[in-house]
């Protein structure tokens, strides 16, 4: 199979869909890898490293989209990339379709087989989302602490406090991978941390692994309302696989929060868990609503591109190799995890939460695999 890796064009996105080690794995199995010139520069990977691993460097994205049978990316295709997609081409990347009607319709019309990293599921876990959730969770607490500084619009509260002065209060919505990692970093800085989750078993686990400056609380509307009132930072990490994120913090709740407090909405890729959230970029990451600073960068791990690229590709490569070796249909038939990743197949929506989010017809993946 011919694998194509274009340079990411989303603003400030420096990750890349494959590393030289991945190129070598594909090459050893007889596949051809085309990589757009300078695609890996943002992650500290030179064209020469790719060439030495067996890749062919091409000058333009058009050459990638014209010749590749499978496109391997990091972020969802931008409008100019959707226009270059070909019927029957395989697109393997993060898609986050539930909050993105335009992209969903674009992929539907293109005739591609779109397989989403974020809905591939193994034993109830999302192995291709978890490494980026780790990065985003850790980064969320760093960003919250940074923007709490007065010069950047915050209250002027130091996350860990100092002797004789209270530390900051961090409230984390969701105790999954991102929430756990946000709590690790926030507690490591010395903040007072509250983690809210609806799963009692998960809360028991977090109680065991997190330090004593972290408290685990059962999540419901009342506890969310009460805990955010005196929070210095709120980090939203809520996730329902493939679906649009529920709005746990309504606009009217902001008026009860401290002026200069910070919200970091990690779940913005799936629509965000705060009613007043909208996607931002690394170039312009924050805005203020009712005195509360919002950080809603939709590709947070892109800021730490080298770490993120290697973490992501460690997880995506085995699945990409299966798809290349077997073809998408056989791979999905043999491996339920890959079948779960099917979001749009040749004009049909095969991920139920995406179809529901946009009120579009849903086609069970079993039907496209017949």
Contact 174, 237 (CB under 8 A): yes
Domain assignment of residue 293, yes or no: yes
Query: What average pLDDT score do residues 166-192 get?
Result: 98
Is there a single domain that holds both residue 80 and residue 183? no
Long-range contacts formed by 214-221: CB under 8 A, 24+ apart? 214/183, 214/187, 216/175, 219/173, 219/248
Residue 370 neighbours by CB under 8 Å, 6+ apart: none
251, 282, 298 — which closes off a domain? 298
How many Cα neighbours within 13 Å face the side chain of 107?
A: 31
Q: Could you tell me the pTM of the whole model?
A: 0.92
- Tens-digit pLDDT profile for residues 5-16: 999 999 999 999
Domain assignment of residue 118, yes or no: no
Is there a single domain that holds both residue 274 and residue 166? yes
Range of the domain at 95: 2-112+305-368
Residue whose C-alpha is closest to residue 239's, from 209, 202, 212, 185: 202
User: 3-class SS at 254?
Assistant: helix
Query: What average pLDDT score do residues 201-218 get?
Result: 97
Is there a single domain that holds both residue 234 and residue 278? yes
> What is the CATH classification number for the domain harbouring 163?
3.40.50.720
- Tens-digit pLDDT profile for residues 56-95: 999 999 999 999 999 999 999 999 999 999 999 999 999 9
Is there a single domain that holds both residue 81 and residue 194? no
Q: Active-site residue among 31, 96, 294, 358? A: 96
Is there a single domain that holds both residue 156 and residue 198? yes
Active site residue 96: yes
250, 274, 298 — which closes off a domain? 298
Is there a single domain that holds both residue 267 and residue 240? yes
- The count of other CB atoms within 10 Å of the CB of residue 60 is 12
Distances (CA, A) of 118 to 13, 59, 74, 78, 282: 18, 30, 11, 17, 22
Domain assignment of residue 122, yes or no: no
Is there a single domain that holds both residue 294 and residue 164? yes
The dihedrals phi and psi of 244, each to the nearest 5 degrees, come to -70, 140
Residue whose C-alpha is closest to residue 307's, from 187, 136, 77, 96: 136
Is there a single domain that holds both residue 42 and residue 172? no
Query: How many structural domains are present in the chain?
Result: 2
259, 281, 298 — which closes off a domain? 298
Distances (CA, A) of 245 to 119, 149, 159, 198, 250: 14, 29, 28, 15, 13
Domain assignment of residue 117, yes or no: no
Active site residue 232: no
Contact 272, 265 (CB under 8 A): yes
User: 3-class SS at 361?
Assistant: coil
- Tens-digit pLDDT profile for residues 236-271: 999 888 888 999 999 999 999 999 999 999 999 999
pLDDT of 227 reads: 98
Is there a single domain that holds both residue 286 and residue 189? yes
Is there a single domain that holds both residue 88 and residue 178? no
Domain assignment of residue 123, yes or no: no
Domain assignment of residue 201, yes or no: yes
Q: Where is 22: in which H helix or E strand?
A: helix 20-28
Residue whose C-alpha is closest to residue 270's, from 85, 103, 71, 91: 103
Distances (CA, A) of 272 to 10, 96, 267, 280: 19, 11, 5, 12
Is there a single domain that holds both residue 202 and residue 290? yes
Query: What average pLDDT score do residues 144-157 get?
Result: 97
Mean pLDDT estimate for the chain? 97
Is there a single domain that holds both residue 358 and residue 243? no
Q: Active-site residue among 100, 197, 265, 269? A: 269
């Amino acid at each position: 199979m011919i694998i194509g890796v274009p340079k990411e064009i989303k603003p400030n996105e420096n990750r890349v869909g494959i590393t030289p080690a991945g190129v070598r794995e594909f090459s050893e199995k007889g596949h051809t890898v085309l990589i757009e010139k300078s695609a890996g520069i943002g992650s500290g990977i030179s064209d020469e490293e790719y060439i030495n691993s067996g890749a062919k460097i091409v000058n333009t994205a058009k050459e990638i989209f014209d010749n590749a049978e499978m496109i391997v990316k990091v972020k969802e295709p931008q409008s100019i990339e959707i226009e270059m997609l070909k019927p029957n081409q395989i697109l393997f990347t993060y898609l986050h379709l539930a909050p993105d009607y335009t992209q969903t319709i674009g992929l539907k019309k293109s005739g591609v087989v779109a397989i989403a990293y974020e809905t591939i599921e193994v034993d109830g876990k999302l192995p291709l989302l978890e490494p980026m959730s780790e990065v985003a969770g850790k980064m969320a607490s760093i960003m919250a602490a940074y923007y709490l500084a007065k010069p950047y619009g915050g209250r002027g509260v130091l996350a860990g406090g100092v002797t004789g002065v209270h530390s900051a209060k961090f409230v984390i919505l969701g105790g999954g991978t991102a929430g756990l990692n946000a709590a690790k970093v926030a507690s490591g800085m010395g903040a007072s941390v509250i983690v809210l989750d609806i799963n009692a078993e998960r809360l028991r686990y977090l109680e065991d692994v997190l330090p004593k400056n972290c408290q685990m609380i059962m999540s419901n509307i009342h506890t969310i309302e009460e805990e955010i009132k005196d929070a210095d930072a709120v980090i939203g990490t809520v996730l329902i696989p493939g679906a649009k994120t529920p709005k746990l913090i309504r606009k009217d709740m902001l008026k009860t929060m401290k002026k200069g407090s910070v919200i970091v909405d990690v779940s913005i890729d799936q629509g965000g868990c705060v009613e007043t959230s909208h996607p931002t970029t690394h170039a312009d990451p924050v805005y203020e609503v009712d005195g509360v600073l919002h950080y809603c960068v939709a590709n947070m791990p892109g800021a730490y591109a080298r770490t993120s690229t290697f973490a992501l590709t460690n997880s995506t490569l085995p699945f990409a190799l299966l798809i290349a070796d077997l073809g998408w249909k056989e791979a999905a038939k043999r491996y339920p995890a890959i079948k779960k990743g099917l979001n749009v197949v040749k004009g049909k929506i095969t991920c139920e939460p995406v179809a529901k989010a946009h009120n579009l017809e849903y086609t069970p993946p079993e039907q496209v695999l017949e």
